[in-house]
Amino acid sequence: MSPVASLPPPPPLRASGHCLLLDFDGTLVDLVDRPDAIVVDTGLIDLLHQLAGTFAGRFALVSGRSVAQIEGFLGDAAAEIAVVGSHGAELRLGGRNIAPDRPPALVEAERAFSAAFAGEEGVVVEVKSLGVAVHYRMAPEHGVAARRLAEQYADRDGLVLQTGKMMVELRVGGHDKGTGIDALLRHEPFAGHMPVFAGDDVTDESGLALVAERGGVGVLVGAPRETAAQFRLDDVAAVRAWLEKAA
């Protein structure tokens, strides 16, 4: 881990010998109040198409969202891109999906979250294929209660508690973005290529650490913090400007 210090911006992206892996929320799209309210503009869709071509298919999104959610946001563009979803638990590559079963305890947690926060304005319960999250960006005063409730369900059926930006989540354990990227790099066309990964959240740190271990390029997006990344960009706009130069 690098101490909190100023990291330089990343070098220009090179497709030759590299593969490109990008976090989604906070890296490619700006964070907004509600998980379903992100804006995927046509400029982003065009950029993703171009990057898939430039990297000859060695291009993946690595997200805490499920593969199905990413596909829903990207539409046809998703077909050309590999997706590591659900914090590393799911992999969709070449039209094939690899994912564990949904544990029954997630259904119970989903019911408990929905009951606890029903009618609480500003709290959003997000149901995912391998996780359930409580978002309190619009009502931060509910953060402590959300975490306490999540703690009650953590460890049931192997669920783990995952914190994120203004949210707490219960998700299938045994995976993280590092293990997800590791799995991806074992498959063609990614195998044998140096990974470049950019992400903003603490959940991206396992991915940044894995990439650093492999001698790849890790880019922290956002304010300086302790990180395994070697480079930093300020925000989504800076990430997109960096990607556009390569596309």
Ligand X SMILES: O=P(O)(O)OC[C@H]1O[C@H](O[C@H]2O[C@H](CO)[C@@H](O)[C@H](O)[C@H]2O)[C@H](O)[C@@H](O)[C@@H]1O
Subset of residues 93 to 132 that bind ligand X, contact rule: CB under 6 A: 126, 128
DSSP E strands in the chain: the ranges are 18-22, 59-62, 82-85, 90-93, 96-98, 124-128, 131-135, 159-164, 167-172, 194-199, 217-221, 231-233
For position 207 contacting ligand X by CB under 6 A, the verdict is no
Contact predicate 139/146, CB 8 Å: no
Terminal-to-terminal C-alpha distance of the chain: 30
Q: In whole angstroms, how close is the CB of 192 to ligand X at the nearest point?
A: 26
Using the minimum distance from each CB to ligand X, give the nearer residue, 14 or 29. Answer: 29
Query: 67, 106, 130, 133: which one contacts ligand X (CB under 6 A)?
Result: 133
Using the minimum distance from each CB to ligand X, give the nearer residue, 103 or 222. Answer: 222
Using the minimum distance from each CB to ligand X, give the nearer residue, 64 or 218. Answer: 64
> Residue 23 catalytic?
yes
Pairing label, strands 90-93, 194-199: unpaired
Q: In whole angstroms, how close is the CB of 127 to ligand X at the nearest point?
A: 10
Give the residue carrying structure tokens 């997000």: 126
Tokens of 189: 């066309």
The single residue of 23, 176, 182, 204 carrying the catalytic annotation is 23
Contact predicate 83/65, CB 8 Å: no
Tokens of 142: 């509910």
Using the minimum distance from each CB to ligand X, give the nearer residue, 215 or 221. Answer: 221
Q: In whole angstroms, how close is the CB of 223 to ligand X at the nearest point?
A: 16
Contact range with ligand X by CB under 6 A, out of 13-21, 33-41, 76-84, 224-232: 33-41
Query: 15, 19, 64, 184: which one contacts ligand X (CB under 6 A)?
Result: 64
Tokens of 209: 């650490």
Q: Which residues bind ligand X (CB under 6 A)?
A: 23-26, 31-35, 38, 63-65, 126, 128, 133, 135, 137, 164-167, 201, 203
